[in-house]
Amino acid sequence: MRALGSKARHPARVYFTGGTTAVLLGWRETTIDVDLRFEPEHDELYRALPLLKESLGINIELASPSDFIPPLPGWEDRSSHISREGLLDFYHYDPYSQALAKIERGHTQDVNDVNEMLERGIVEPAKLRSLFEAIEPQLYRYPAIDPNSFAMAVRRFTGP
């Protein structure tokens, strides 16, 4: 965060997701990459990434839940602030968006992460279900998603 913040010449938000959130919140010790998103997008941040990847020895991916599922209403308000470095404010991307994207993907690590989020009270089952229902009519815009399978997977985490 410090390294990227030192490169920023304009204010922006950086949203972390996936394994980065899991590591920073303490239920995983490592992650294979740092998934992030900039808002707004500034060229100097993109230009800084290759040097940061090499100097820090980490893989950085430009990815967020809204790349895989429709954006959830109010996601920005549910994104929690981590730190400010230079002109950048760093956030955990909305945990409900992260949980739903992980449920949709369904890999073993994703399932484990969602279970941790539920056990730690980071996401609540009823609200997770309600937010899924809010985006369900928009799933047609994401052809890789099978809406019926996604709905069944959500019910496995949230109950009938």
Q: Are 33 and 58 in contact (CB under 8 A)?
A: yes
**Cβ-proximal residues to 82 (8 Å cutoff; 6+ apart), any chain:** 1, 16, 24, 90, 91, 92
d(CA 39, CA 46): 12
What is the CA angle 79-154-69, rounded to 5? 50
- pLDDT at 6 (0 to 100): 94
- pLDDT at 160 (0 to 100): 77
Tell me the pLDDT tens digit for each residue of 7-34.
Answer: 999 999 999 999 999 999 999 999 989 9
Tell me the pLDDT tens digit for each residue of 72-123.
Answer: 999 999 999 999 999 999 999 999 999 999 999 999 999 999 999 999 999 9
- pLDDT at 13 (0 to 100): 98
pLDDT of 135 higher than 80: yes
Structure-model confidence comparison of residues 159 and 72, the more confident one: 72
Q: Are 39 and 17 in contact (CB under 8 A)?
A: no
Q: What is the mean pLDDT of the chain?
A: 96
Q: How far apart are the first and last CA of the chain?
A: 41
